[in-house]
Structures are given as structure tokens and as C-alpha cells.
């Protein structure tokens, strides 16, 4: 049983490696991170900064590479697996923890999407780290202060990853209350210390939010757009249906185990198990029930559309509940349940890989883009037009990001031509350094000063069904200024 955590982590790494092998491009969210990583800021126009900082650090230390988002995604997923297993051991016991981890690995955010690096990826590992630090603080009297400090650091990281962190962090406090631990003065003091540390970490970003008129919060609230009554109801139904789809492999695994007979008597009924049962119920409520219900309630109460990826975190501890429910059936099955888990991993890996491996590609637009061909074609036209290095690409973060990432990775992206989205690029720099302009429509290209215009066939997989991507080369007049310096 001790090898199960390593087995589960190996499976997660295998999913990441498979995704990298069969996807010709990146997930769309990766290009946003690459676009923003050219400057370390306290915030970006859509989100808090932590995921972008991590990518910027990898690029700064090791150099640019299209592989960094997948590497970071793997690191987050494996770290998340380790924390989840540790939480399961403490709440469910070592025997059930291995089952919980294999169920966890069958949830699509940790399998088919294990190579996706975005704000949800970092949020989930930060939340699991926070929960683990709290459990360690409760169990350790001598080192409790250090663990509460670590709790604050992890909670602050969660808030710097995504504002949705408010829900699971509140759920952890709820778990402490339901377990009766908040009655202990030492716990309250430790929790207050953690809150202060998290607030200190978040404070610079909050100051940035104030300076930028809470634009990230406005984006999170969908710019004030609200759904009507029927729209809210349908959105909730659609959201829940999508969550079932995302966790279906884990549900299938648990369902197959549940078909096996289990012992009639519940061994938990011993007198000594009462306290453990209360703790387990409190934490499953705080980690799973509360975040899920609060997320679902967001739509009807605020009228904003629930996004499917909001369920990633809300259900990230769902495997713990499933494992506990089928634990007795796993005992009857013996080691066979490990083989069943491996079989289901293999089946769903094949289901994921086969569409991406054929000539038509998968359903995801970003996995079928001729990213390298686009970048190479733009680079050839730029070199034919100028001896200067390409320093700025102007256009959507998706297409313009491809030109940068699959070029040499050094060209900065002026997202949508909007200086407020990419404030590290100034109008003066754009004029002095020249740029390549990318668009899904030839009519939107600036032709003034352009020395070359080109396009590439993308097979009708571009956004809105476009079949070509267009670019215009506007080179600088001279190379007297070092274009790579940004000065």
C-alpha cells in the first residue's frame, strides 16, 4: 500500500507527458501566462499574479521554452496529489488514503487536463497545502506556531492565485468550527496569525487592485452582466452536468467497487471512533460540501454565469468522500481495485489520446493549431524585412502568443494592441522597435508602414471559424537601440 501514492503520482506525470506528446500547441490559457510573464507585476488585467510569477521564474532561471507550462502543471499536480494523500491519511486512515488518491487521479482536472497550467492549477495545490498545514498545526503542540505561519503563507498564495480561494479558505474555518476546535484559544490565536500573514501577502496586490480600479474583480464578476431567472436555472443545471462529466471516471470506479458486497457491520461503531467521525464529517463538509454549495449558489444569487472550471476546486476533495463511501467494498475486492483503477486510467487515456492523434485532431481548438508553422512563417517574413530582432508582437494573446512562444520566446506581446493590458510596452517603444501585427481578419491589419503582409491556412479551427491567420510586418527604421532591452 505504501507504493500507491507513487503510483498515483506516476499516473499524473504520465497524463502530462501524453498531453505534451499529442498536442501540437498549448492550452489557450498558456498563452495568456506567456504574454504576461514578460513583466513581473502585482497583478494583470484579468487575474492575480502568482501563476504568472511561477512561469516568469522558470523562464528567468532556465530560459524560454514552450514546455514550461506543462512542467509547472505537472509539479502542481504532483504536489497536489501529495497533499491530498496526506490529508486523506489523517482524515480517513492510511488504508483508505490510497484508494482516495487513485480516485482523485481519475478526475479529469488531474488526468486529461493534468498538463493545463492556469490559475485553477495553482489555486488547487495552494488550497490543499493550506488544509494540510492546518491539520498539522492542530496535531502538533510544539511546532504549532510554525504550522500556522505556513498556513498563512499557503492561504496567501491561494488568494494570489485566484479570488475563488475565498470559498475553500472559508470552508477550512467552517471545518474548524464544526469540529469544535475554535473553542480552543490556542487554535483561535493560530488562526488569527495565519490570517494576518495571508493578508500581508495579499496586501500589495490589493493596493494594485485599488490603483487599477478593481479591474480584476470586475472581470471575475463578468463585467456586471447578469442572467435572468430562467437563464440562472439553466446555468446551474448545465454546470452540474459538466461537473458530473469531469468526475465521471472516478464515479465509474467507485460505482464498480460499490457493486461488490461489503461487510454488514460498520467497524467505525466502536466507542473510540466517535471523535474521529466528527472530525471527518467536519472536514468533508468544509473541504467539499461548503465550496460546492457556495459555488453553485453564486449563479442564482448574483446572476452571473457559472463557469465549468469553477468546479475544479469545488470538487477537488470529492475523491475523499467517494473513497470513504466505498472503503468496505475495496476491502472485499483486495488488491484487485488497484488493477481496476489502472484499467480505467488506461481506457480514459486512450479515449483522450485517440482523437488528438488522428489527422482531424481533438475537439480543442488549441491542440490543433499549426503553432510552429505560424511562428516560422512570421519569423521568415520578419527576417526578410529587417535585420533587427523581432521584439513586439501585437494581437490576441492566443495567436500573437504563438508567434512569440514558438519563435525564440523573447518577443513581447502587446495584447489586443491595448497598452492597458500590456503596460510594460509603451507607444514609444512600439514606434521605435517595430512589430508584427497578428489578426484573424486581413481588414484589421495596419498597413501603414508595413513592408510585408502574409497569412497561413489554419484549417478552419481558428476562433469564430476563421480559416486563415494574417500578419503584417512593420519593422523599425534602424537597429541603433537594443530591441531586447525594452529601453
- pLDDT (tens digit per residue) in 438-457: 998 888 898 888 889 999 98
Please tell me the least confidently modeled range out of 202-216, 330-344, 396-410, 424-438: 330-344
pLDDT at position 262? 64
Residue 142 CB-half CA count within 13 A: 0
Question: Could you tell me the three cell numbers for 207?
Answer: 493596493
What pLDDT score was predicted for residue 263? 62
Q: Give strand pairing partners of 472.
A: 437, 453
Q: Is the pTM of this model over 0.95?
A: no
Least confident of 292-296, 345-349, 461-465: 461-465
For range 5-29, the mean pLDDT: 75
Give me the pLDDT at residue 428, please: 93
- What pLDDT score was predicted for residue 370? 81
Residue 461 has pLDDT above 70, yes or no: no
Average pLDDT (88-117) is: 90
Determine the pLDDT at residue 141: 81
Mean pLDDT score of the chain = 88
* pLDDT, tens only, 361-411: 444 556 667 888 899 999 999 999 998 999 999 999 999 999 999 998 999
Q: Which pLDDT score, from 0 to 100, does residue 481 have? A: 44
Q: Residue 468: which pLDDT band, with cuts at 50, 70 and 90?
A: confident
306: its cell numbers: 457559472
Q: How far, in Å, CA of 473 to CA of 435, rounded?
A: 6
pLDDT computed for residue 205 by the predictor: 98
Q: Which of 51-60, 90-99, 119-128, 279-288 has the lowest mean pLDDT?
A: 90-99
Residue 170: pLDDT over 60: yes
Please report which confidence band the pLDDT of residue 37 belongs to, taking 50, 70 and 90 as the band edges. very high
Give a three-class secondary structure readout of the chain: CCCHHHHHHHHHHHHHHHHHHHCCCCCHHHHHHHHHCCCCCCCCCCCCCHHHHHHHHHHHHHCCCCCHHHHHHHHHHHHHHHHHHHHHHHHHCHHHHHHHHHHHCCCHHHCCCCCCCCHHHHHHHHHHHHHHHHHHHHHCCCCHHHHHHHHHHHHHHHHHHCHHHHHHHHHHHHHHHHCCHHHCHHHHHHHHHHHHHHHHHHHHHHHHHHHCCCHHHHHHCHHHCCCCHHHHHHHHHHHHHHHHHHCHHHHHHHHHHHCCCCCCCCHHHCHHHHHHHHHHHHHHHHHHHHHHHHHHHHHHHHCCCCCCCHHHHHCCCHHHHHHHHCHHHHHHHCCHHHHHHHHHHHHHHHHHHHHHHCCCCCCCHHHCCCHHHHHHHHHHHHHHHCCCCCCEEEECHHHHHHHHHCCCCCCEEEECCCCCCCCCCCHHHHHHHCEEEEECCHHHCCCCCCCEEEEEECCCCCHHHCCEEEEEEECCCCCCCCHHHCC
Amino acid at each position: 500500500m505504501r507504493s500507491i501514492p507513487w503510483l498515483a503520482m506516476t499516473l499524473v506525470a504520465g497524463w502530462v507527458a501524453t498531453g505534451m506528446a499529442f498536442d501540437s500547441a498549448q492550452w489557450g490559457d498558456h498563452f495568456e501566462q506567456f504574454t504576461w510573464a514578460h513583466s513581473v507585476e502585482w497583478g494583470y488585467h484579468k487575474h492575480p499574479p502568482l501563476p504568472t510569477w511561477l512561469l516568469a521564474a522558470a523562464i528567468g532561471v532556465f530560459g524560454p521554452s514552450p514546455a514550461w507550462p506543462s512542467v509547472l502543471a505537472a509539479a502542481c499536480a504532483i504536489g497536489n496529489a501529495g497533499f491530498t494523500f496526506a490529508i486523506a491519511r489523517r482524515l480517513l486512515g492510511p488504508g483508505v488514503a490510497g484508494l482516495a488518491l487513485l480516485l482523485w487521479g481519475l478526475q479529469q482536472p488531474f488526468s486529461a487536463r493534468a498538463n493545463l497550467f492556469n490559475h485553477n492549477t495553482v489555486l488547487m495545490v495552494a488550497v490543499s497545502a493550506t488544509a494540510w498545514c492546518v491539520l498539522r498545526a492542530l496535531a502538533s503542540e510544539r511546532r504549532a506556531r510554525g504550522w500556522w505561519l505556513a498556513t498563512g503563507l499557503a492561504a496567501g498564495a491561494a488568494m494570489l492565485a485566484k479570488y475563488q480561494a475565498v470559498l475553500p479558505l472559508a470552508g477550512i474555518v467552517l471545518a474548524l468550527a464544526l469540529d469544535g476546535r475554535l473553542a480552543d484559544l490556542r487554535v483561535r490565536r493560530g488562526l488569527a496569525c495565519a490570517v494576518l500573514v495571508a493578508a500581508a501577502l495579499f496586501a500589495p496586490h490589493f493596493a494594485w487592485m485599488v490603483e487599477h480600479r478593481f479591474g480584476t474583480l470586475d472581470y471575475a464578476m463578468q463585467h456586471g452582466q447578469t442572467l435572468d431567472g430562467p437563464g440562472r436555472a439553466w446555468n446551474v443545471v448545465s454546470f452540474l452536468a459538466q461537473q458530473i462529466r469531469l468526475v465521471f471516471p472516478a464515479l465509474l470506479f467507485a460505482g464498480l467497487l460499490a457493486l461488490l458486497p461489503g461487510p454488514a457491520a460498520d467497524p467505525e461503531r466502536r466507542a473510540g471512533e466517535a471523535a474521529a467521525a466528527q472530525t471527518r464529517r467536519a472536514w468533508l463538509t468544509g473541504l467539499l460540501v461548503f465550496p460546492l454549495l457556495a459555488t453553485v449558489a453564486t449563479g442564482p444569487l448574483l446572476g452571473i454565469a457559472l463557469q465549468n472550471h469553477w468546479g475544479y476546486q469545488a470538487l477537488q476533495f470529492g475523491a475523499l468522500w467517494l473513497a470513504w463511501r466505498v472503503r468496505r467494498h475495496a476491502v472485499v475486492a483486495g488488491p484487485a481495485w488497484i488493477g481496476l483503477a489502472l484499467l480505467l486510467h488506461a481506457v480514459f487515456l486512450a479515449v483522450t489520446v485517440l482523437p488528438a492523434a488522428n489527422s482531424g485532431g481533438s475537439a480543442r481548438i488549441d491542440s490543433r493549431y499549426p503553432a510552429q508553422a505560424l511562428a516560422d512563417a512570421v519569423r521568415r517574413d520578419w527576417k526578410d524585412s529587417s535585420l533587427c530582432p523581432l521584439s513586439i508582437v501585437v494581437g490576441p494573446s492566443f495567436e500573437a502568443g504563438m508567434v512569440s512562444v514558438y519563435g525564440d520566446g523573447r518577443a513581447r506581446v502587446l495584447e489586443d494592441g491595448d497598452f492597458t493590458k500590456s503596460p510594460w510596452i509603451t507607444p514609444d517603444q512600439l514606434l521605435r522597435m517595430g512589430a508584427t501585427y497578428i489578426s484573424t481578419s486581413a481588414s484589421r491589419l495596419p498597413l501603414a508602414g508595413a513592408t510585408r503582409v502574409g497569412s497561413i491556412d489554419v484549417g478552419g479551427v481558428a476562433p469564430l471559424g476563421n480559416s486563415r491567420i494574417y500578419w503584417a510586418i512593420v519593422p523599425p527604421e534602424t537597429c541603433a537601440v537594443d530591441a531586447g532591452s525594452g529601453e
